[in-house]
Structure 1
Amino acid sequence: MSIEPGTDPLNPIDNDTAWVATQIAEYVATDGASPQFRPGVPLLLLTVKGRQSGAWRRTALIYGEDEGRFVVVASRGGAPRHPVWYLNLRENSEVYVQVGARRFRATARTASQEEKPDLWAKLVAIYPEYADYQTKTDREIPVVILDPLDD
């Protein structure tokens, strides 16, 4: 018996943007060894539950590490609105993460105003385009902390 995609966090619906879907498929097939977004720019897979549909959806994101937790940016390339995955995790903070071969549950939260500057600087050091994205939009681009719950 097969499980319908999206009804279980271990069988999510992948991002339907073609190049992101390709990244996800390669990432899953190689336990994160491929694809390489850019040299020195690491990717993780984030699975979140839809706030309206209830479906589990997965996307690939650039990440940084900070004191045993993982940090991502809800940039959407500097678009005026937040990415859907960010809106979803604000409603449902339990997420699933894959970093390389490691898969785990995590709690997601937006970095506080006190936490954000240091985390933002770390992420901009990994992917300098984030600084440009912030200049393209009036919204404050959120930094999201993913605190692992288990392995």
Structure 2
Amino acid sequence: MGDADEIRAERNDWVSDHRAEYLQSGGTRGHILDLAGVGGRTFTTHCLIRLRGRTSGRQYVNPLIYGNFGGELVIVASKGGADSHPQWYLNIQASTTIDVQIATQAYQATWREPSDEERHEVWSYMTHLYPPYITYQQSTSRRIPLVMLALGKSIDVFTS
């Protein structure tokens, strides 16, 4: 096993490859992945989110695991259990809407964070979909955020 920098680089390569495959295929590949080898499920669903950097103004596209809870998409700002929030989550907080692509369909979405009992139910649901989230939460003192997306108008699928 490599050191933390090597592991991080390998993970970044995997994420970059996944994003490229999803984008280049127009969503016909990359939506469902087998994550059983890393403690996940055989059929794990992934979306792409697209938003602007809050300080850079640059456009970013991130592939993320998602679930459908009560008709809303749920994404988890886990960052693998790191002690800091992922940049995409900080960028979402600075936005009112984000773009999301699910397989071959894309939408503009509004977002919110669940609280109290709803948050507990959504967290339980997401840890069932992807059990490593439990370990991620145990490895950090921050409360891993959950983001719920309500899909709005259809938009063109992402190309970059």
Q: Same fold (TM over 0.5)?
A: yes
Match of 2:52 in 1: 49
Superposed CA deviations along residues 25-65 of structure 1, whole A, max 9, x for unmatched, are: 11123343423252221110011221111222110000000
Aligned residues: 135
Counterparts of 1:139 and 1:55 in 2: how far apart (Å)? 27
Structure 2 length-normalised TM: 0.79
| Percentage identity across paired residues of the two chains | 36
Question: SS state of the match for residue 87, structure 1?
Answer: helix
Counterparts of 1:82 and 1:37 in 2: how far apart (Å)? 25
Output aligned runs, 1:1-151, within 5 Å. Answer: 17-35=12-30, 36-38=33-35, 39-151=42-154
Structure 1 length-normalised TM: 0.84
Superposed CA deviations along residues 111-142 of structure 1, whole A, max 9, x for unmatched, are: 22332111111111110000110000000001
Unmatched 5+ residue regions in structure 1?
1-16
Match of 1:13 in 2: none
Amino acid at match of 2:148: I
Counterparts of 2:60 and 2:114 in 1: how far apart (Å)? 22
Does the Cα contact within 8 Å between 1:46 and 1:58 map onto a contact in 2? yes
Unmatched 5+ residue regions in structure 2?
1-11, 36-41, 155-160
Counterparts of 1:29 and 1:19 in 2: how far apart (Å)? 15
Question: SS state of the match for residue 150, structure 1?
Answer: strand
Deviant stretches of 4+, over 4 Å: none
Greater helix share, 1 or 2?
2
Does the Cα contact within 8 Å between 1:97 and 1:105 map onto a contact in 2? yes
Alignment RMSD (CA, Å): 1.3
